[in-house]
């Protein structure tokens, strides 16, 4: 890549412009803030996206307003700041020392004790403050599930979240939005952001052509999307990566399109950005995404990365496979498409060449006759990794199973369809006896392992029980439980 085609990474730190070019691209935003900027309000707890102590907020123009998103600075790399405003706890109080309403509410509601978690909570509250309307308890729970506090207890913090907008006034960030948007737009000249230091380089291509060319030139490069897996390679495995190619600025990968057959989700689309479209077509899958990681993880992580990573316990592949989704890949000028289930070859082995990248996942649009249900089994409701996840897509013709596709995560080295169970049900009457008979076949499809999340026996039992649950819910609609929806309803009553 020629030098004159690249530019430094540019962003705003608060209201001040920053340009970085000679910084190691393995530097996390947290390290940059604490060691380079000496902004030490942002804390390091776990260093792996779990505790939220490092939460910062990134603002980006969205039309004529700013969109604010909380992310974990411990697993975001500095290069991903390009084009954004980075806000930390130091930015919130006014120059006269007046606390931001979210900080003041935390004080008023006694929402802090030792204070270690507090800057992270403040930033999650700040992002929530910027959303329209007053948040209800469900929204508050979702927004704060990625912040852990070991001493205050969540009651006072949730109370602060409820109280912070009581005055109903726009804050000074809203007043300054036009200037901030103008300053952010002025950062970009269309060239490609590039970092180089310590023998490590970083590129942020703007188009798929540039991305394809970079991967041809650097086939061993690490493709970086949301960094919610890759970030941990650096912070936990202490690896040094380079070259890194960030896909967050590739225009073609940042799109969702819907036609009469397919919902095409670009590889750089975050869970948060995919949510509304997924909810509109498949509410059950949206419930799964809502429980994936935390708000901070969903604001950064992508469905494309979840697929490319190839984990057997990734939450998005089972529903996508049950629906018959397809994956689009590109290598050089060549595009290819395959059934998503064929992408997962074996544990840690995917059907992808080193210089090949995921362009998009194509999900069939909803069909009136097809029912999709997904069930995630984990020890905690929020912010927990799956022990087993079952996705069931059923089409009935009268009472007969015209088509059924079942896919489980956590039951095999890859997300895998229950083909024997499907065969046992296809063409049969959708009745309890046939479902019970199919449950017996489950052990022919899966030989799960025992690990810290669940025993093999538990996994097999739960898979059978989820098939039973699915049957009951499709035949006795009143028995249907939607755990996310129900938790929400209970909170609304509280």
Ligand X SMILES: Cc1cc2nc3c(=O)[nH]c(=O)nc-3n(C[C@H](O)[C@H](O)[C@H](O)COP(=O)(O)OP(=O)(O)OC[C@H]3O[C@@H](n4cnc5c(N)ncnc54)[C@H](O)[C@@H]3O)c2cc1C
What residues line the site for ligand FES (CB under 6 A)? 44-47, 49-54, 72, 74, 112-118, 149-152
| Beta carbons within 10 angstroms of residue 347's beta carbon | 11
Residue 40, classed as helix, strand or coil, is coil
Does 225 help bind ligand X (rule: CB under 6 A)? yes
Nearer to ligand X, 47 or 156 (CB): 47
- Give DSSP secondary structure letters for 196-263: EETTEEEE--SSHHHHHHHHHH-TTPEEESS-TTHHHHHHTS-----SEEE-TT-GGGG-EEE-SSEE
Nearer to ligand FES, 157 or 303 (CB): 157
Omega cis (within 30) before 427: no
Binders in 233-272 for ligand X, by CB under 6 A: 247, 267
* Residue 51 binding result from ligand X, ligand FES, none, given CB thresholds of 5 to 8 Å by partner type: ligand FES
Nearer to ligand X, 54 or 157 (CB): 54
Which one among 308, 323, 438, 442 touches ligand X, defined by CB under 6 A? 308
* Residue 79 binding result from ligand FES, ligand X, none, given CB thresholds of 5 to 8 Å by partner type: none
Of the candidates 421, 466, 464, which has an alpha carbon nearest to the alpha carbon of residue 441?
A: 421
**DSSP 8-state code for residue 443:** H
Q: How far is the CB of 286 from ligand X (least distance, A)?
A: 14
Within 8 A by CB and 6+ apart from 69, the residues are: 57, 58, 59, 60, 127, 272, 299
Within 8 A by CB and 6+ apart from 116, the residues are: 43, 45, 53
Nearer to ligand FES, 28 or 130 (CB): 28
Q: How far is the CB of 39 from ligand FES (least distance, A)?
A: 15
Binding residues for ligand X, rule CB under 6 A, total 30
Using CB atoms within 10 Å of the CB of residue 20, give its burial: 0 to 12 exposed, 13 to 18 middle, 19+ buried: buried
Does 319 help bind ligand X (rule: CB under 6 A)? no
Does 230 help bind ligand X (rule: CB under 6 A)? yes
Nearer to ligand FES, 99 or 423 (CB): 99
Q: How far is the CB of 439 from ligand X (least distance, A)?
A: 26
Which one among 149, 163, 223, 425 touches ligand X, defined by CB under 6 A? 223
- Give DSSP secondary structure letters for 377-401: E-SSSSS---SEEEEEEEEEETTEE
**Per-residue buried b or exposed e for 135-146, using 16+ beta carbons within 10 Å of the residue's own CB:** bebbbbbbbbbb
Does 227 help bind ligand X (rule: CB under 6 A)? yes
Does 50 help bind ligand X (rule: CB under 6 A)? yes
**Per-residue buried b or exposed e for 363-380, using 16+ beta carbons within 10 Å of the residue's own CB:** bbeeeeebbbbbbbbbee
The helix/strand count (H/E) of the chain reads as 18, 21
* Residue 222 binding result from ligand X, ligand FES, none, given CB thresholds of 5 to 8 Å by partner type: ligand X
C-alpha 341/C-alpha 412 separation (Å) is: 13
Q: Which sign does the torsion angle of CA 157, 158, 163, 165 carry? A: positive
Strands 9-13 and 85-87: parallel
* Residue 247 binding result from ligand FES, ligand X, none, given CB thresholds of 5 to 8 Å by partner type: ligand X
Alpha helices (H) in 268-378, listed in sequence order: 271-281, 283-290, 295-300, 303-308, 317-322, 340-343
Does 226 help bind ligand X (rule: CB under 6 A)? yes
* Residue 54 binding result from ligand FES, ligand X, none, given CB thresholds of 5 to 8 Å by partner type: ligand FES
Nearer to ligand X, 47 or 101 (CB): 47
Residue nearest to ligand X (CB): 305
* Residue 287 binding result from ligand X, ligand FES, none, given CB thresholds of 5 to 8 Å by partner type: none
Nearer to ligand FES, 113 or 254 (CB): 113
Q: How far is the CB of 388 from ligand X (least distance, A)?
A: 12
Q: How far is the CB of 48 from ligand X (least distance, A)?
A: 6
Segment contacting ligand X by CB under 6 A, of 150-158, 307-315, 441-449, 457-465: 307-315
Q: In what order do the strands lie in the sheet with 256-258?
A: 256-258, 262-266, 356-364, 326-331, 334-339
Binders in 29-48 for ligand X, by CB under 6 A: 48
Which one among 47, 242, 301, 390 touches ligand X, defined by CB under 6 A? 301
Map residues 383-402 to x or -, x wherever contact with ligand X holds by CB under 6 A. --x-----------------
C-alpha 48/C-alpha 383 separation (Å) is: 12
Q: Would you tell me which residues interact with ligand X (CB under 6 A)?
A: 48-50, 222-230, 247, 267, 292-293, 297, 300-302, 304-306, 308-309, 314-315, 357-358, 385
């Amino acid at each position: 890549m020629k030098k004159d085609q690249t530019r430094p990474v540019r962003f705003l730190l608060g209201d001040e412009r920053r340009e970085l070019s000679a910084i190691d691209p393995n530097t996390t935003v947290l390290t940059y803030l604490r060691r380079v900027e000496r902004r030490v309000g942002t804390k390091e707890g776990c260093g792996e996206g779990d505790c939220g102590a490092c939460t910062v907020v990134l603002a980006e123009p969205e039309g004529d307003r700013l969109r604010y998103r909380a992310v974990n600075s411990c697993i975001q790399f500095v290069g991903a700041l390009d084009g954004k405003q980075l806000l930390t706890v130091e930015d919130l109080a006014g120059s006269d020392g007046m606390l931001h309403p979210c900080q003041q509410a935390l004080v008023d509601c006694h929402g802090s004790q030792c204070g270690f978690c507090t800057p992270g909570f403040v930033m999650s509250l700040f992002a929530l403050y910027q959303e329209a309307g007053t948040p209800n308890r469900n929204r508050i729970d979702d927004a704060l599930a990625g912040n852990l506090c070991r001493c205050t207890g969540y009651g006072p913090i949730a109370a602060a979240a409820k109280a912070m907008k009581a005055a109903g006034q726009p804050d000074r960030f809203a007043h300054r939005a036009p200037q901030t948007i103008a300053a952010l737009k002025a950062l970009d000249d269309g060239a490609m952001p590039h970092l180089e230091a310590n023998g490590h380089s970083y590129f942020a291509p703007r188009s798929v052509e540039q991305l394809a060319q970079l991967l041809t030139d650097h086939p061993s490069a690490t493709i970086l999307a949301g960094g919610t897996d890759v970030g941990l390679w650096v912070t936990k495995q202490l690896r040094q990566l380079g070259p890194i190619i960030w896909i967050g600025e590739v225009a073609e990968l940042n799109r969702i399109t819907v036609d009469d057959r397919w919902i095409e989700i670009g590889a750089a689309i975050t869970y948060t950005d995919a949510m509304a479209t997924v909810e509109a077509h498949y509410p059950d899958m949206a419930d799964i995404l809502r429980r994936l990681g935390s708000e901070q993880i969903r604001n950064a992580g992508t469905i494309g990365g979840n697929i490319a990573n190839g984990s057997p316990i990734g939450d998005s592949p089972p529903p996508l496979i049950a629906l018959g989704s397809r994956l689009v890949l590109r290598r050089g000028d060549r595009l290819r498409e395959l059934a998503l289930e064929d992408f997962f070859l074996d544990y840690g082995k995917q059907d992808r060449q080193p210089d090949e990248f995921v362009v998009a996942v194509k999900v069939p649009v909803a069909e009136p006759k097809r029912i999709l249900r997904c069930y995630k089994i984990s020890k905690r409701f929020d912010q927990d990794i799956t022990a087993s996840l079952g996705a069931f897509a059923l089409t009935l013709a009268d009472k007969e199973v015209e088509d059924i596709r079942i896919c489980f995560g956590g039951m095999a080295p890859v997300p895998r369809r229950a083909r024997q169970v499907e065969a046992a049900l296809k063409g049969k009457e959708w009745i309890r006896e046939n479902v019970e008979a199919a449950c017996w076949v489950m052990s022919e499809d899966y030989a799960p392992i025992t690990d810290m999340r669940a025993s093999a026996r538990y996994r097999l039992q739960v898979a059978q029980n989820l098939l039973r649950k699915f049957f009951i819910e499709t035949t006795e609609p009143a028995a249907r439980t939607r755990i996310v929806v129900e938790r929400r309803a209970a909170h609304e009553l509280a």
